Amino acid sequence: MASRLTGRPVTGAPAGSGSPAEVTLACGTRVMVKRADSPGAVRAEVAGLRWLAAADAVRVPAVLGHDEHWMVTERVPTGRPGPEAALRFGQALADLHAAGAPRLGAPPPDGPEDAFIGLAPMRNTPGTDWPRWYAEHRVLPYVRGAVDRAALEPGEAAVFERVCARLPELAGPAEPPARLHGDLWHGNVLWGADGEVRLIDPAAHGGHRETDLAMLQLFGCPHLDRVLAGYEERAPLAGGWPERVGVHQLFPLLVHAVLFGRGYAEQALTVARNALAR
């Protein structure tokens, strides 16, 4: 597969099993081969990687070849996270966001509207008002999905509906659409052996920059204080942003509730109730 997509012969069998798998080309270059079963998933990821790369900010692995179900990217040798790399990452992330997007919900150029975040469907429907767009396309669809999968009780959906009704007052000042990675948990942050961070597995779209930062905080990130310091140094966040973190975390928590069940649903409920108590 790697040979067909890159036009270069492969030496030996893949290192490890499953997807992604590491493969060595005959020239000695090591690459990652990844398969996606869902139609459009490879197209969305490739378009997202290229859109992020076009910002010339945070680095991403180069796409070396792809078809409908497979993609080949360069392999990133990884090292240990460090405070200086974290500071540069925060600055570069601010630059990525500042590269912007045409509209909220805008997919990357050549990317499908019906995309994915992890294994969950994610529809990139453009909008202009962030509170309304976030409610309609990033919170309520996953509330319904969590109810359908019995991760949430039907009556619990009302908690999220009340948060959505209050989003205009909870969201903070309006900002232009940012160019988001969209699935920025620490597993998608690779600390390169060369001291530079690369981002993988994007769910890229136009959105609110605080959403990427909130997801980074939700699942932890090495040297997060330095990442945030670098970000604030390059592009200060609007006042009161720490109080809005939970609102932005509702999206990834509800996605996880749909995919993984009740534990994440309970966490989302706690976050939602805390937001209502403000």
Catalytically active residues, by annotation = 183
Under 8 Å CB-to-CB from 155, ≥6 apart: which residues? none
How far is 137 from 133, CA to CA, in rounded Å?
6
Helix (H, G, I), strand (E, B) or coil at 180: strand
Nearest to 206 by CA among 111, 86, 141, 121: 111
Virtual torsion, Cα 24, 39, 143, 96, nearest 10 deg: 50
Question: Where does the chain have alpha helices with state H?
Answer: 2-6, 41-54, 83-98, 130-134, 140-148, 157-170, 209-218, 224-234, 241-260, 262-276
How far is 269 from 180, CA to CA, in rounded Å?
25
Count of residues in the chain? 278
How far is 14 from 220, CA to CA, in rounded Å?
31
